[in-house]
């Protein structure tokens, strides 16, 4: 039939009104771009968060932190005492514990090598950190039990710090200074990237926990310990037992709050769920509002354009167009306009998301569902704002539409 | 060929007394005629034209086209009728802007059931003497040329009757004369033509003049051959 002729004619009509079509396109462009961008970044952030969480807390790990009732951020200044003895007591009393690793930290320490200085986070850990945190060395050797027992002056160094101090040179066997304490580098830490807070975790120096406590900080407390239980099913029981042991040792009377915090996969799950809610609900909501505003603008423009074209519709009807011919034309015109705007929006949104993802070290994946949604919403808006008024005009007596 | 029987058209704007644009109009036009309907503005001549072209429905009365009552056709059948049987030259021209003369002329073919449409547009433009302006847009054409594009569009689908509403209304006298002689030429080639005008001089080009006043046909006469010859000689 003549439908193909009519479709070709409609497509040509779009290019005749470049400015008008461009503005309408802009509406679906902005909406789709915003939706694509936000959902892409949101999904990337979510994936990053989940992978980091998985990295930090396996399904069978518990973290004991000094100080009560906080989850994120550094420990408080005068947090209650958490000692190696506490953790050793837990390890001997709670049968589910398979492995434990204490930690003490200097968040920002000056590390020097010959003339150069770098600022790094210095962590004191045990030889078991390699298993507890699933982070090993790419070169050299990890801290061993002897070094921990002897408070040996040895260190592992992260890639960023290594680059800052040694450039392309080989750090292994070299001696660095943390404060005034000379430490010999025995291994290069496996790269980690940035963590959830955007902190570069390759900007680190790891020393034996004993060296940290005695030689670098002169403290007898630790800030946290990571405990792995034998089986994920034992986590809940272990949390209960650890709480009992620590409350007893710290002499906390019933009814008083804990002076330590336990982070288990269960609490992490809750935290992740809360964050996920934000990522999954509020971000798309913001994007949906952007889409809505953009499509309303496109709809208004389209409505105005159809009202201008009532005469043209009357003409088409007068020379023999059926109502459905007019509808076909407007459906083709609006869909093509909205579709091309939407596709450009998806491209722009993805490119922007890519740029943001690259900065934040998020993974990147085209959120095709959001993109599709943006395009579909644009087209539906186009149909409502463009095709319905056109249908109304097409149903008039041609003489009225021509006036 | 076409026959109006007691056509009445009443406009009833809300809150105001109804207006009888046409009252009991009966008119018969045969194939090959060239009729001018003359009247002042508001006399109902444009309404009459809309009814001829099925662009509006009469309030009452019958409109027979080759013996069939076309007022009872469905909306879509009327669209087909307009496409196939009628060529309409609208008062405001209604050419699509930024669209070539050829594409404007071919517009009715877009909605035609015909399959062999190649060349019809250029043929119609040739018939109005615009072969060299086919790719020009309306803005690039003079008023007279635009009018001829509109006439070509009316001719393109080879209709039974060509209707023109004030075809010389916005033209300078020379272009107006050119358009009228074009109509005469088309009539001589066999086209049935009905024009509406307020200008008696233009009406003089037709073979038959019907005068309309206050929605009624008050005079209907065939022009004398002498008059036709005289206007021919000009």
pLDDT tens digits, residue range B203-233? Answer: 999 999 999 999 999 999 997 654 555 555 4
**Interface contact B153, partner A, CB < 8 A:** yes
A356-365: average pLDDT: 72
A-B CB pairs within 8 A amount to: 75
| Sign of the dihedral defined by the CA atoms of residues B69, B5, B9, B206, in that order | positive
Nearest to A349 by CA among A366, A333, A362, A336: A366
- Tens of pLDDT, residue by residue over A194-227, are 776 667 888 999 999 999 999 999 999 999 999 9
Enumerate residues 6+ apart whose C-beta is below 8 A from A269. Answer: none
Average pLDDT taken over every residue of chain A:
87
Q: Output the pLDDT for position B183.
A: 95
**Interface contact A319, partner B, CB < 8 A:** yes
Put simply, the chain A residues between 373 and 402 with a CB less than 8 A from any chain B CB are: 395, 397-400, 402
Q: Evaluate whether A175 touches A181 at the Cβ level (below 8 Å).
A: no
Enumerate residues 6+ apart whose C-beta is below 8 A from A21. Answer: A14, A15, A337
B108, two tokens: 């009715």
B88-95: average pLDDT: 92
> Is A320–B57 a contact, with Cβ atoms under 8 angstroms apart?
no
Q: What burial class does residue B180 get, using C-beta atoms within 10 Å of its C-beta: 0-12 exposed, 13-18 middle, 19+ buried?
A: buried
Q: Output the pLDDT for position B203.
A: 93
**Most A-contacting residue of B9, B45, B50, B55 (CB-CB within 10 A), to test interface:** B55
**Interface contact A157, partner B, CB < 8 A:** no
Q: How confident is the model at residue A80 (pLDDT cuts 50, 70, 90)?
A: low
Per the document, the length of chain B is 234
Give the span between the Cα atoms of A123 and A346, in whole angstroms: 44
> Is A17–B80 a contact, with Cβ atoms under 8 angstroms apart?
no
Residues of A in contact with B82 (CB under 8 A): 317-320, 398
**Rounded to a whole number, what is the distance in Å from the CA of A318 to chain B's nearest CA?**
6
Q: What is the ipTM of this complex?
A: 0.93
% pLDDT > 90, chain A: 45
The least confident of A6-20, A100-114, A154-168, B38-52 is A6-20
* DSSP SS3 for A106: strand
Q: What pTM was computed for the model?
A: 0.72
Question: B106-135 burial, b for 16+ CB within 10 Å, e for fewer?
Answer: bbbbbbbeeeebeebbbebbebbebeebbe
Give the span between the Cα atoms of A190 and A199, in whole angstroms: 16
A361-386: average pLDDT: 81
User: Residues B86, B88, B90, CA angle at the centre, nearest 5°?
Assistant: 165
A86, two tokens: 């506490």
Please state, in angstroms and as integers, the Cα–Cα distance from residue A185 to each residue in A87, A116, A127, A137, A176, following that order.
Answer: 28, 16, 15, 12, 7
**Interface contact B90, partner A, CB < 8 A:** yes
Q: What burial class does residue A1 get, using C-beta atoms within 10 Å of its C-beta: 0-12 exposed, 13-18 middle, 19+ buried?
A: exposed
A364-376: average pLDDT: 80
The least confident of A124-133, A358-367, B44-53 is A358-367
Give the span between the Cα atoms of B56 and B164, in whole angstroms: 15
Q: Output the pLDDT for position B62.
A: 95
Q: What is the CA radius of gyration of chain A?
A: 32
Q: Output the pLDDT for position A363.
A: 64
Q: Output the pLDDT for position A77.
A: 46
Report how far Cα A44 is from the mean position of its chain's Cα atoms. Answer: 5
Q: Are strands B2-11 and B60-65 parallel, antiparallel or unpaired?
A: antiparallel
DSSP state of B3: E
Q: Output the pLDDT for position A365.
A: 67
Enumerate residues 6+ apart whose C-beta is below 8 A from B37. Answer: B45, B48, B49, B194, B195, B196, B197, B209, B210, B211, B212
Residue ranges per structural domain of chain B: 30-57+74-233
Nearest to A80 by CA among A259, A262, A248, A261: A259
Nearest to A57 by CA among A75, A71, A74, A77: A71
Q: How confident is the model at residue A56 (pLDDT cuts 50, 70, 90)?
A: low
Enumerate residues 6+ apart whose C-beta is below 8 A from A98. Answer: A60, A228, A229, A230
Q: Output the pLDDT for position A41.
A: 82
Report how far Cα A46 is from the mean position of its chain's Cα atoms. Answer: 4
DSSP state of A229: E
**Interface contact B146, partner A, CB < 8 A:** no
Q: Output the pLDDT for position A83.
A: 93
> Is B135's pLDDT higher than 90?
yes
Q: Output the pLDDT for position A198.
A: 67
Nearest to A103 by CA among A181, A188, A217: A217
Q: Output the pLDDT for position A364.
A: 61
CATH superfamily for domain B30-57+74-233: P-loop containing nucleotide triphosphate hydrolases (3.40.50.300)
A63, two tokens: 């973290």
B219, two tokens: 């005079």
**Interface contact A311, partner B, CB < 8 A:** yes
Q: Output the pLDDT for position A197.
A: 66
Only one residue has tokens 């000009």, namely B234
Q: How confident is the model at residue B78 (pLDDT cuts 50, 70, 90)?
A: very high
Higher pLDDT, A55 or B222: B222
């Amino acid at each position: 039939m003549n439908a193909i002729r009519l479709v070709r004619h409609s497509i040509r009509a779009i290019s005749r009104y470049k400015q008008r079509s461009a503005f309408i396109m802009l509406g679906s462009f902005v909406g789709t771009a915003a939706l694509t961008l936000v959902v892409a970044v949101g999904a990337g952030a979510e994936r990053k968060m989940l992978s980091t969480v998985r990295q930090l807390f396996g399904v069978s790990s518990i973290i004991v932190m000094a100080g009560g009732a906080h989850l994120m951020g550094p420990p408080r200044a005068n947090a209650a005492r958490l000692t190696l003895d506490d953790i050793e007591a837990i390890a001997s009393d709670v049968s589910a514990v398979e492995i434990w690793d204490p930690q003490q930290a200097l968040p920002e320490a000056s590390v020097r090598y010959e003339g150069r200085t770098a600022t790094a986070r210095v962590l004191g850990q045990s030889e078991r950190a390699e298993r507890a945190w699933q982070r090993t060395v790419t070169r050299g050797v990890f801290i061993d039990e002897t070094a921990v027992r002897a408070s040996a002056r040895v260190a592992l160094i992260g890639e960023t710090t290594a680059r800052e101090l040694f450039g392309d040179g080989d750090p292994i066997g070299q001696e660095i200074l943390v404060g005034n304490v000379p430490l010999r580098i025995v291994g290069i830490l496996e790269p980690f990237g940035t963590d959830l807070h955007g902190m570069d975790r390759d900007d680190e120096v790891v020393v034996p926990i004993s060296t940290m406590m005695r030689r670098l900080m002169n403290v007898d407390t630790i800030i946290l310990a990571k405990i792995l239980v034998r089986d994920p099913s034992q986590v809940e029981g272990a949390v209960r037992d650890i709480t009992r042991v620590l409350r007893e040792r710290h002499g906390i009377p019933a009814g008083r709050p804990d002076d330590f915090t336990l982070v288990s996969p269960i609490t992490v799950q809750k935290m992740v769920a809360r964050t996920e809610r934000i990522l999954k609900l509020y971000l798309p909501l913001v994007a949906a509002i952007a889409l809505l505003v953009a499509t309303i603008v496109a709809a208004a423009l389209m409505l105005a354009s159809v009202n201008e074209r009532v005469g043209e519709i009357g003409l088409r009807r007068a020379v023999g167009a059926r109502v459905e011919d007019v509808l076909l034309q407007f459906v083709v015109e609006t869909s093509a306009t909205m579709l091309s705007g939407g596709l450009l929006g998806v491209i722009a949104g993805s490119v922007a998301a890519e740029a943001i993802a690259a900065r934040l070290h998020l993974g990147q994946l085209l959120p095709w569902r959001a993109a599709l949604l943006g395009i579909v919403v644009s087209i539906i808006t186009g149909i409502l704002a463009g095709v319905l008024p056109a249908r109304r005009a097409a149903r008039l007596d041609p003489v009225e539409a021509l006036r | 060929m076409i026959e109006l029987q007691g056509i009445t058209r009443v406009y009833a704007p809300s809150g105001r007394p109804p207006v009888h644009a046409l009252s009991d109009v009966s008119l018969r036009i045969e194939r090959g005629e060239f009729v001018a309907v003359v009247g002042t503005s508001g006399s109902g001549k444009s309404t009459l034209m809309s009814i001829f072209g099925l662009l509006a429905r009469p309030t009452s009365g019958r409109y027979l086209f080759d013996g069939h009552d076309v007022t009872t056709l469905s909306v879509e059948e009327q669209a087909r009728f307009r496409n196939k049987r009628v060529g309409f030259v609208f008062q405001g021209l209604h050419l699509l802007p930024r669209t070539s003369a050829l594409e404007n002329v071919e517009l009715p073919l877009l909605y035609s059931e015909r399959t062999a449409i190649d060349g019809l547009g250029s043929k119609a433009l040739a018939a109005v003497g615009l072969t060299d302006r086919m790719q020009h847009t309306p803005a690039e054409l003079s008023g007279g040329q635009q009018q001829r594009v509109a006439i070509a569009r009316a001719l393109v689908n080879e209709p039974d009757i060509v209707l023109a509403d004030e075809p010389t209304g916005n033209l300078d006298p020379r272009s107006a004369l050119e358009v009228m002689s074009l109509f005469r030429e088309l009539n001589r080639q066999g086209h049935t033509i009905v024009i509406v005008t307020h200008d008696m001089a233009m009406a003089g080009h037709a073979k038959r003049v019907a005068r309309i006043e206050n929605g009624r046909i008050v005079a209907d006469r065939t022009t004398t051959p002498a008059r036709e010859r005289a206007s021919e000689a000009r």
